[in-house]
Amino acid sequence: MLAAAHRVARAGLWLGGLLILLAALLIGVDVALRKLFVASIGGADELAGYALAIGTAWSLAAALLDRAHIRIDSFYLLLPGPVRAALDLIGLALFVGFFALVGWHGIGVLRQSWASGSRSQSALETPLVLPQALWLAGLLVFVAIGAVLFLAALGRLLAGDRAAASRLVGTRSAQEEVEEEMRAAAARREAVGP
C-alpha cells in the first residue's frame, strides 16, 4: 500500500507542478500582451487561482511522504524517543484529520455548486464544480495517503521498530538532510557527465 501511495503522490506532484507552471506561463503571456498590445487574455488570474488550489491539493501527499512539511521541532528533539514517536503519530492524525474536515466541508460546497449550477462571476463563467471537484479529489487523495501512512507507522511502532516509524513520519534529522543533498548533488553530477 505504501508503494502505491508513493506512486500516486508522485503523479499528483507532477500534476500540481505542471498546473503551476502553466499558470505562470499564462500570467506571463497575459502581462506581455497587456504591456505590448494593451490587450488581455481575460480570466488569467482566475485560471491561475484554480491552478494554484488544485496544484497545491495534489502536491500535499508527496510533501507528506517526503516529510517536507515544515514543523517547529526545537523542543521535540529534546524529548525521549517514545514520546517523539507518540507525538509524530498524534501530529499526523491531527494534520490529516484537519484536511479530512476541510474535505468534508468541500464535499458540501461541491454539492451546492452542482445543485445550483454555480458559475464564476468572471467573463469565463467557469462552472465551479470543475475546479472544485479537481481540488477536492486532490485533497481526498491526500487524506487517503495520510491514513495509509498513519497505519504503516503505527504498524512499525507496534512491531517495535521505532526507527522505521520515525523514517516514515518523524522530523527529518540534519544528517538525513545532508545525505539527501549529497545524493542529489551526485545525481546532478552524473546527469551532466564527466
Give 4 or 69, the one with higher predicted confidence.
Answer: 4
Give the pLDDT confidence score for residue 109 in this predicted structure. Answer: 96
Give the pLDDT confidence score for residue 194 in this predicted structure. Answer: 65
**Rounded Cα–Cα distance for residues 52 and 16 (Å):** 8
Residue 78 is classified by DSSP as: G
**Rounded Cα–Cα distance for residues 187 and 194 (Å):** 12
Give 173 or 192, the one with higher predicted confidence.
Answer: 192
Q: How many domains does the chain have?
A: 1
Its domain, for residue 112, covers 2-192
Give the pLDDT confidence score for residue 49 in this predicted structure. Answer: 93
pLDDT digits (tens, 9 = 90+) for 66-95: 888 777 777 877 889 899 999 999 999 999
In this structure, what C-alpha cell is assigned to residue 72? 517547529
Average model confidence (pLDDT) for the chain?
Answer: 91
Is 90 exceeded by the pLDDT of residue 170?
Answer: no
pTM: 0.86
Give the pLDDT confidence score for residue 64 in this predicted structure. Answer: 94
